[in-house]
Amino acid sequence: MFADRVEAGRRLAVALAGSVRPGALVLGVPRGGVVVAAEVARAHSLELDVIVVRKIGAPGNPEYAVGAVDEDGHVVGGRSALVSDEYLAAAAAEGRAEIARRLAAYRGNRPAPRIAGRAVLVVDDGIATGFTLLAALESLRSREAGRLVVAAPVAAPDAAQRIAEMADEFVALEVPRWFSAVGQFYRDFSQTPDAEVMALLKASRVRT
């Protein structure tokens, strides 16, 4: 059990001590994952930015991901009995629009960080189905990232296995056998507002 995302990030930073490489880039998955990622970046004096991916929720249960859309607009997953092609197309379009909005809010006129050939740590506050992180990893591979490390305080067993197979290294503090939702492992899992994400990114730029 984690008190909140800040405490989880500090504990994750310790666990990542042997995985961090000089000049690595830390990418948080908005919104909550950026809070965790900020603690990792601060502890290891690394550059912090975001990788914006949007999950595609199941019909009637938007919190349960059946797929995800990456920053380039590509869809990962989604082909299942749970969703029709029409539903997937509409949900993907909504995801692309929200990704564009978030990138404009979080980065403004700043260029995206250099990815090619660089070690990248992708950090989220927890992993349920893993679709958003799989989309993030595919996007980073397409941009020729170097070593890819995925880290989270907690992950569902099935998702952890999928992520570990695709990343160069996977680090999770807890992979509990009984997993219902990420929030059950936090005492405070309140929503992270855009303003907090922007403040964390700004503070990191000042430090680095």
Q: What is the pTM of this model?
A: 0.90
pLDDT digits (tens, 9 = 90+) for 134-158: 989 999 999 999 999 999 999 999 9
- Boundaries of every domain in the chain: 5-52+112-207
pLDDT digits (tens, 9 = 90+) for 176-201: 999 999 999 999 999 999 999 999 99
Q: Average pLDDT over the chain, rounded to whole?
A: 91
* Residue of 92 and 157 predicted with greater confidence: 157
* Residue of 152 and 86 predicted with greater confidence: 152
The CATH code for residues 5-52+112-207 is 3.40.50.2020
SS3 of the chain: CECCHHHHHHHHHHHCCCCCCCCCEEEECCCHHHHHHHHHHHHHCCEEEECCCEEEEECCEEEEEEEEECCCCCEEECCCCCCCHHHHHHHHHHHHHHHHHHHHHHHCCCCCCCCECCCEEEECCCECCCHHHHHHHHHHHHCCECCEEEEEEEECHHHHHHHHHHCCEEEEEECCCCCCCHHHHECCCCCCCHHHHHHHHHHHHHHC
